[in-house]
Amino acid sequence: MTTHLTEVRPARPEDAEALSGIHAAAWRGAYRGLLDGIDLERLVSRRTPSWWCDALTKGVLIEVLEIGGEAAGYASYGSCRMPALRCDGEIYEIYLKPECQGLGFGRQLFETARKALQSRGLNGLAVRVLSDNGPACAFYRALGGRLAARTWHETGGRRLELSVFVWAARRV
């Protein structure tokens, strides 16, 4: 029996249903009004439980935040997909159920992913975020991220600006 109210642990295949629900709720909360409604639902509908099982089977690194034994958020991370930034690691996603946002859990997931990347020898860190997502940009700035680049993503005939935040390698 555990006495911890919160725990961050590696995702397991049995988390697939919860991950799908967290993703859907977080995306609808974060991107409603920023993305076309049809595009948003199309993007949300791709992340089915079988998609998550497949990702875990392929070795995608995902940490799950549990609150009171229930999955409430996640972070996915790995090697940086933007070599020009000279960062070895990248946090691909951090999402929380809307009712768990603003309580420090995002910071907990960020630090867990950052430490896991460092333990794998991946120094320096990058994160991409939709530039119009003010709360997410403020979150990464508050964590010490430096705006290093802007890039674009096409969806539903729209060109969306992404902000790229970076953190220098931490000395352990």
- Residue-wise pLDDT for 47-101, tens only, equals 999 999 999 999 999 999 999 999 999 999 999 999 899 899 999 999 999 999 9
Which DSSP helix (H) or strand (E) runs through 16? helix 16-31
CATH class of 6-167: alpha beta
Predicted local distance difference test score (pLDDT) of residue 160: 87
Facing residues of 78 across strands? 90
CB 6 within 8 A of CB 105: yes
Predicted local distance difference test score (pLDDT) of residue 3: 56
Predicted local distance difference test score (pLDDT) of residue 103: 95
Predicted local distance difference test score (pLDDT) of residue 171: 52
Radius of gyration from C-alpha coordinates of the chain: 16
Q: Residues 117-140: pLDDT tens digits?
A: 999 999 999 999 999 999 999 999
- Rounded to whole angstroms, the maximal C-alpha distance in the chain is 51
Rounded to two decimals, the pTM is: 0.91
Secondary structure letter of residue 113 according to DSSP:
H
Domain chopping of the chain, boundaries: 6-167
Q: Place 1 in a pLDDT band, splitting at 50, 70 and 90.
A: very low
Q: Residues 9-46: pLDDT tens digits?
A: 999 999 999 999 999 999 999 988 888 888 889 889 99
Residue 172 has pLDDT above 70, yes or no: no
